[in-house]
C-alpha cells in the first residue's frame, strides 16, 4: 500500500483532468480536525463535510434537522488542517430552496474553508447550480438516492431502476451542463452509474454505485465499521478491520479505490 504520489493540493480544474487521465478519486466524509488531518496526510483526495453529520454525529434519524450553522462549524474544523485534499461541504436541507438562500449559505461555507458546495437533486436545482457557478462557487451535484428527499421517497433505497434510469441519466447531463464540477451518485445500479460516468464530462463519485464511477466516497462512521444505529447498507465496508488503524484503513481504502477493487460485486447493486 502506498500514499498517492502526487502531493500537490487538489484544485477544481484538476478534478476534470483526473477524469480525462483515468485517475480514480478517493473521498471520505469528515467532521473534525483529527480525522481530517489523518485523511489528508494519508492521500485522500476529497473530503466531504456531509449533512450525514445529522445522523452520525448528532444522532438524528435523517439529515433534515441539520442547519447551515452546523455545517459551517464542522467545515471550519476540517478546513483548519487540510493541506492537500479538496474540501466539499453540503448545503443542508432547505438551504438551497431558493437561489438567494443558496448563495448566502454557500458564501458562509466558502468563508469557513469549503472549496465546493454540494447540492442534492436536479429539476429546479439546475437554476440554483447556474446561479452559484456564475458567482464563482464550484458545485458538486448529488443524484440517485438523495437523503434530503427521504420524506418523498418514503425511505432509503436504490434509485434509477427501470424507467427511472433515463431520468437519472438526463439529470446527470443537465447538472453537468448547468456547471457542476463533480457528481455524487448514491445507491444506483452499477450499469447505470457506468453509463452516467461514460456519458458525462464531469467526474462521478459513487457510494453504492459500483466500481465504474470515477471515484468513491464513504461516510466516516461506516468506513470505520461503527454501528450507526441504522440499517447497514450493502455498499458499506469496514476498512478499520482490514487496515488495523485509522491510517491503515485510509491506505487500504485508497489503494482499493485506485486499483478498482472496491467496491466489488458484494458492495454494489447489479441491477
Ligand atoms: O452527507 C453525506 O455524507 C453524503 C454522502 C453520503 C455522499 O452526502
pTM of the model: 0.96
**82's grid cell:** 487540510
Please check whether residue 2 lies inside any domain of the structure.
no
Q: Nearest Cα to 150, choosing from 63, 82, 40? A: 63
Range of the domain at 233: 12-267
Please check whether residue 6 lies inside any domain of the structure.
no
Q: How many domains does the chain have?
A: 1
pLDDT of residue 191: 98
The minimum-distance atom of ligand 1 relative to the CA of 90 is 1
Question: Cα(104)–Cα(228) distance, rounded to whole angstroms?
Answer: 32
| pLDDT 10s digits, 197-241 | 999 999 999 999 999 999 999 999 999 999 877 788 999 999 999
Q: Nearest Cα to 194, choosing from 174, 210, 178? A: 210
Please check whether residue 5 lies inside any domain of the structure.
no
90 lines ligand 1 (CB under 6 A): yes
88 lines ligand 1 (CB under 6 A): no
CB atoms near residue 184 (< 10 Å) = 28
Ligand 1 centre from 220 Cα, in Å?
Answer: 10
**86's grid cell:** 479538496
Helix axes 99-112, 125-134, angle to 10 degrees: 50
Half-sphere CA count of 187, side-chain side, radius 13 A? 14
| pLDDT 10s digits, 116-148 | 999 999 999 999 999 999 999 999 999 999 999
Please check whether residue 3 lies inside any domain of the structure.
no
At 239, which CATH number? 3.20.20.60
Please check whether residue 175 lies inside any domain of the structure.
yes
Q: Nearest Cα to 38, choosing from 93, 5, 85, 94? A: 85
Contact 253, 223 (CB under 8 A): yes
Residue ID of nearest Cα to ligand 1 atom 3: 50
Amino acid at each position: 500500500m502506498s500514499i498517492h504520489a502526487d502531493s500537490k493540493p487538489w484544485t477544481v480544474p484538476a478534478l476534470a483532468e483526473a477524469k480525462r487521465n483515468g485517475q480514480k478519486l478517493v473521498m471520505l466524509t469528515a467532521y473534525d480536525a483529527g480525522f481530517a488531518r489523518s485523511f489528508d496526510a494519508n492521500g485522500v483526495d476529497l473530503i466531504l463535510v456531509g449533512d450525514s453529520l445529522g445522523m452520525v454525529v448528532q444522532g438524528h434519524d435523517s439529515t433534515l434537522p441539520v442547519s447551515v450553522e452546523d455545517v459551517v462549524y464542522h467545515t471550519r474544523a476540517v478546513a483548519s488542517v487540510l493541506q492537500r485534499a479538496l474540501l466539499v461541504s453540503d448545503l443542508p436541507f432547505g438551504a438551497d430552496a431558493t437561489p438567494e438562500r443558496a448563495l448566502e449559505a454557500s458564501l458562509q461555507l466558502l468563508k469557513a474553508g469549503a472549496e465546493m458546495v454540494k447540492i442534492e437533486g436536479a429539476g429546479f436545482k439546475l437554476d440554483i447550480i447556474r446561479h452559484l457557478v456564475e458567482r464563482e462557487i464550484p458545485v458538486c451535484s448529488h443524484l440517485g438516492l438523495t437523503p434530503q428527499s427521504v420524506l418523498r421517497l418514503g425511505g432509503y433505497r436504490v434509485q434509477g431502476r427501470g424507467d427511472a434510469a433515463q431520468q437519472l441519466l438526463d439529470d446527470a447531463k443537465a447538472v453537468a451542463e448547468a456547471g457542476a464540477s463533480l457528481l455524487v451518485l448514491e445507491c444506483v445500479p452499477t450499469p447505470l452509474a457506468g453509463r452516467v460516468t461514460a456519458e458525462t464530462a464531469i467526474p462521478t463519485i459513487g457510494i453504492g454505485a459500483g466500481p465504474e464511477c470515477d471515484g468513491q466516497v464513504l461516510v466516516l462512521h461506516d468506513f470505520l465499521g461503527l454501528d450507526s444505529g441504522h440499517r447497514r447498507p450493502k455498499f458499506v465496508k469496514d476498512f478499520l478491520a482490514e487496515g488495523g488503524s485509522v491510517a491503515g484503513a485510509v491506505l487500504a481504502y485508497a489503494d482499493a479505490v485506485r486499483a478498482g477493487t472496491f467496491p466489488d460485486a458484494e458492495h454494489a447493486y447489479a441491477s
